[in-house]
Amino acid sequence: MMGYFAILAAIPGFFLSSFFLMLLWGVIAPKLGLPTAGYPLAMLMTITIWLAVAPLAAAAGRRTSRR
């Protein structure tokens, strides 16, 4: 049951992370010569980053809980 609430708690974090990524990408991208990203692309990038980091966070969580 707690996993369900954890997912619900992550939803606002996802939208805020996407918004901040869009804002920061808009500042950094022109300096690197890259196109800027709108909010839908920032959401896609956030999902990609979260999917890459989630297994690492889960493994770190399991490692610290065994001690």
Confidence of residue 67 (pLDDT cuts 50, 70, 90): low
Burial environment of residue 19 by CB neighbours within 10 A (0 to 12, 13 to 18, 19 or more): middle
**pLDDT tens digit sequence for 9-62:** 888 999 999 999 999 999 999 999 999 999 999 999 999 998 998 888 888 877
| Angle, CA 21 vertex, CA 10 and CA 30 arms, to 5° | 170
Please check whether residue 37 is in contact with residue 25, taking contact to mean a CB–CB distance below 8 angstroms.
yes
Number of domains the chain is built from = 1
What pLDDT is recorded for position 1? 63
Longest CA–CA separation in the chain, Å: 47
Please, where are the H alpha helices in the chain?
2-32, 39-65
Supply the pTM of this predicted model.
0.72
pLDDT for 64 equals: 62
Domain that holds residue 38: 2-65
What is the rounded CA–CA span in Å between residue 47 and residue 62? 22
